[in-house]
Amino acid sequence: MKNNQNLYVVIMAGGIGSRFWPLSTESKPKQFQDFLGTGKSLIRMSFDRFAKFCPAENILVVSNAQYYDLIQEHIPELPSQNIISEPFRRNTAPCIALASLRINHENPKAKVIVSPADHLILEQDKFEESLEHALKAAEEHDQLVTIGIKPSRPDTGYGYIDFNQGNSPVREVNSFTEKPKLEKAQEFLKAGNYYWNSGMFIWQNQSILNSFEALLPQLLSQLKQGEESVVANNAEGIAAVFGACEDISIDYGIMEKSKNVKVVLGDFSWTDLGTWGSVYDELEKDSDANASIGQNIKHFNTVKNSLVVNEEKEKLIALMDIDNLIIVNTSESLLICNKDSEQGIKAIVQSLKD
């Protein structure tokens, strides 16, 4: 892809990553962690991915206000005014509306790529090819475009997109399905016309603003009351209007209701690092299918199919006769659970908060 002054990227980085507890915490959530031992955090990898074809001054990071310093630490070359701080967590629709109003002031002709900060994409060329298809559809036909990923398994942790058959890489969307039950996910996998919803979006900035006007007018009107503060990135002014915004996702508020939605069938290696299981899948394994992060981890007798994370260099973790476990040790907490039960980690975190 060529560098384009009309192209903007919005990286959403405000989540807590509770399914990665106890390593991911509210003070340092998963987007600021280096899970794969690459020397780069997930948010740093996201920035580098887009900086290959988008000027740094056109990349915005929207995150919770408490992560402002962490973002500067991980992406020092990002202009400070490009860090948009949300005073409260209000899901993806308010986050995107906030960025869209800011971009509209800078460049009414802008085309925008929206992406979460926690994706792992290893095939840059194929990724950029998918984006080119999406940008072309967004520009020529005024479409809201999302990227779909061919499912490799009946995963219940992803949303699914039902699309029309055909030969084009850009397809008509029939419907969205939020995280389904296992039986339904198995049906989707067998059907062949369901892809995972990656959570990446591509559109002309004016198109998404028009969609907010039509489908979430109250939310857009609320933010427009503080538009001067949004444009100036004034934290106090944003806080004055943001708290009253509806807590709603862009999928539910816009994409599922809009009549002009397309999906590009992504043909590149992609992982949403949303769970310990997804990290396990990406790590190198030993002959017994075990993966580890950290040091001082010793196996005795039979240890199989397990992920062990040890954040404390001085503490020895000795394992014997276990199978299919996730074990995560930090200085504050220890998690031991079956890999098949990892979707329940989020409930553990909520229970501890309560």
How do residues 113-134 score in pLDDT, each as one tens digit?
999 999 999 899 999 999 999 9
Banded pLDDT at 5 (limits 50, 70, 90): confident
Residue position matching structure tokens 């769970």: 275
Tokens of 290: 């075990």
The rounded distance, in Å, linking the Cα atoms of 111 and 203 is 6
How much of the chain exceeds pLDDT 90, in percent? 80
What's the confidence (pLDDT) of residue 37?
A: 80
pLDDT at residue 1 is higher than 80: no
**Alpha-carbon dihedral 79, 82, 84, 85, rounded to 10 degrees:** 0
Tokens of 307: 């992920």
Banded pLDDT at 19 (limits 50, 70, 90): confident
How much of the chain exceeds pLDDT 70, in percent? 100
Amino acid type, 115: S
Once rounded to an integer, what is the mean pLDDT over residues 54-76? 96
Q: Cβ of 347: how many Cβ atoms within 10 Å?
A: 11
Amino acid type, 224: K
pLDDT at residue 269 is higher than 80: yes
- Residue-range domains of the chain with CATH: 7-274 (3.90.550.10), 277-353 (no CATH)
The rounded distance, in Å, linking the Cα atoms of 68 and 83 is 7
Banded pLDDT at 141 (limits 50, 70, 90): confident
pTM metric for this prediction: 0.92
What's the confidence (pLDDT) of residue 128?
A: 96
Listed in order, strand segments (DSSP E) in 65-208 are: 83-86, 111-116, 119-121, 144-149, 160-163, 170-177, 194-204
pLDDT in tens, 298-348: 999 999 999 999 999 899 999 999 999 999 999 999 999 999 998 899 899
Question: Please, what is the average pLDDT of the chain?
Answer: 93
pLDDT in tens, 173-194: 999 999 899 999 999 999 999 9
**Pair type for strands 144-149 and 160-163:** unpaired
Cβ burial 188-215 (10 Å sphere, 16+ → b, else e)? bbeeeebbbbbbbbbbbbbbbbbbbeeb
Banded pLDDT at 4 (limits 50, 70, 90): confident
pLDDT at residue 38 is higher than 80: yes
Tokens of 127: 């990724």
What's the confidence (pLDDT) of residue 18?
A: 87
DSSP class of residue 193?
-
Cis peptide before 22 (omega within 30 of 0): yes
The rounded distance, in Å, linking the Cα atoms of 282 and 271 is 8
Once rounded to an integer, what is the mean pLDDT over residues 155-165? 91
